[in-house]
Amino acid sequence: MNNLADAIEQWILRQISRQQDETVVLRRNEMAEELDCAPSQISYVLSTRFTLDRGFIVESRRGSGGFVRIARIPVQTIVFQDAASQIDEELTLDEIKAIITRLRNNNLMTAREAALIYKCCALMHQRIGPHERVPLLQSLLMTLVETE
């Protein structure tokens, strides 16, 4: 290990990997004692290495009963959330197709799923106004994550 931050990160990752749901609840002071470091060093590692961009959600409560809950988010969930967030009222059918194609090319959906999703999007684009269409399209994409 190069430094203390690496050691803290690896310790936390080991704790997460031991949990079936990849979620762990830890106490900052107990972690600091076990790792022989200051609680602020743990806070630094949490804020820089356990970010949403890296696939983690961190919930922290301070005080005597305080805790840190760290959950790993599957990368595919992040990718689908990003794709869903790109859908807005001005999005064209060609842009929707490009999003679906990108997801398909990255093996995040089958060719059959991509074809079905695109057909649903095309029908919605033709028959439903933009204001109602956006949440339906976003929900349609997120359904693929929920059914994995």
Cα(102)–Cα(109) distance, rounded to whole angstroms? Answer: 10
pLDDT at residue 7, as a whole number: 92
Is the pLDDT at 137 greater than 50? The verdict is yes
Is the pLDDT at 2 greater than 70? The verdict is no
Residue 109, phi then psi, degrees to nearest 5: -155, 155
DSSP string spanning 53-79? Answer: GGTEEEEEE-STT-EEEEEEPPHHHHH
pLDDT tens figures, 57-98: 898 887 665 789 999 887 788 788 888 999 999 999 999 999
Domains of the chain: 4-72 (3.30.56.130), 75-146 (no CATH)
Whether this model's pTM surpasses 0.75: no
When pLDDT is cut at 50, 70 and 90, the band that residue 147 belongs to is: low
